[in-house]
Chain A
C-alpha cells in the first residue's frame, strides 16, 4: 500500500516535471512528537538533484509555538545527501514576520535496508524560541522509499 501511495504521489508531482525525472523518493515519520512527510522526483542523469520537493511537518511537542506547529518545509531544505546507502535531508525554517526569533530544524538520517529501495533511520527535531529561550528536542524513527 505504501509503495502504491508513493507511486501515486510521484505521478502527481511528475506532471509538472521535465521528462528526465524518472525516479523519486518519499519519507515519512509519525509518532507522538512529529508527523512528517516528504516526497520528490529526482532528476536522473543530472546528478540526481531533488526537484519539486513537497514536505510538511506537524510538531506535537508540548510547548511548540503555535505558528511553528504545522509547517510547509518544501522550500526549506538546506542540505541533502543521496548517495550510496545514504538518504539524508536537513530542513531549517525560521519564524517569519516581526515576532521574536524562532526556528524548527529537522534532520533526517536514513540508510538503505534490503534491496527494494527502502531506507530506515532517525529524525532529530529541534524547536527553538528566543521568546522564552526554550529549546525543545525530540528524535524518532523515519522510513523512506527510493525508486
Chain B
C-alpha cells in the first residue's frame, strides 16, 4: 500500500524520468529527442505508454512501451502494447495514437484497437482528450464492443 501511494505521489517525476531515459537510451541522439507519455485510468481501462519522440526527424515516435489493462466481464486482462502502434499523429496541438493487436488468447475476439485522441496547446500542461477501445469479434455477425473514456498525453 505504501509503495502504491509513493508511486502515485511521484508519478510525474517517474514519467519524466522514464521519458528521458527512453529518449537517451534508445535513440543514441539525446540532443534531438524527447518523449511522449499517455495515460488513461478509469473503471474500464488502465493504460500507460511511453515513447521516444525524435524531434529532429519530424517528431517520429519510436520505442513505444507500455501496457493496457482492460476490464472484461470475466475480469481484468493486461496487454503489452510494445509493437502495437499502427498509426500516430503529432502535429500542432494534437497528439494521437492508434494501437491494434490480435489477442490470440481471448476466444471470440479477432482484434483489439485503442485510439487515443488528445489536444491542448498550453505549454507544460498535458494534452487532454479521449480514448476508445474497440474489440472486434471473430464472427462477422458479432458485435463490436466499444469502451470510451478520458485520456491525456504529455510531451517533453
Contacts and interface: CB of A to CB of B under 8 A. Distances in A.
A79 B111 contact: no
Interface stretch (A5-13, A29-37, A45-53): A45-53
Interface stretch (A62-70, A86-94, A137-145): A86-94
B127 to A, nearest CB: 15
A80 interface: yes
A83 B98 contact: yes
A105 interface: yes
Interface residues of B, number: 21
A61 interface: no
A20 interface: no
Nearest to A124: B91
Contact of B58 (A47, A49, A79, A82): A79
A92 B98 contact: no
Contact of A107 (B56, B61, B88, B91): B91
A94 B29 CA distance: 15
A78 B90 CA distance: 9
B102 to A, nearest CB: 8
A72 to B, nearest CB: 16
B41 interface: no
Contact of A47 (B57, B90, B91, B111): B111
Interface of A: 45-49, 76, 78-83, 88, 90-92, 94, 105, 107
Given A45-B111, A80-B89, A90-B89, 13 more contacts: A47-B86, A47-B99, A49-B86, A49-B87, A76-B58, A78-B57, A78-B60, A79-B91, A80-B87, A81-B87, A81-B89, A83-B98, A94-B57
The 4 A-B residue pairs with the shortest CB-CB distance in the complex, in nearest-first order: A92-B58, A47-B100, A47-B86, A78-B58
24 contacts: A45-B110, A46-B86, A46-B100, A46-B102, A47-B98, A47-B100, A47-B111, A47-B113, A49-B87, A76-B58, A78-B57, A78-B58, A78-B59, A79-B59, A79-B61, A79-B91, A80-B87, A81-B87, A83-B98, A88-B89, A90-B58, A92-B60, A94-B56, A94-B57
Interface of B: 56-61, 86-91, 96, 98-100, 102, 110-111, 113, 115
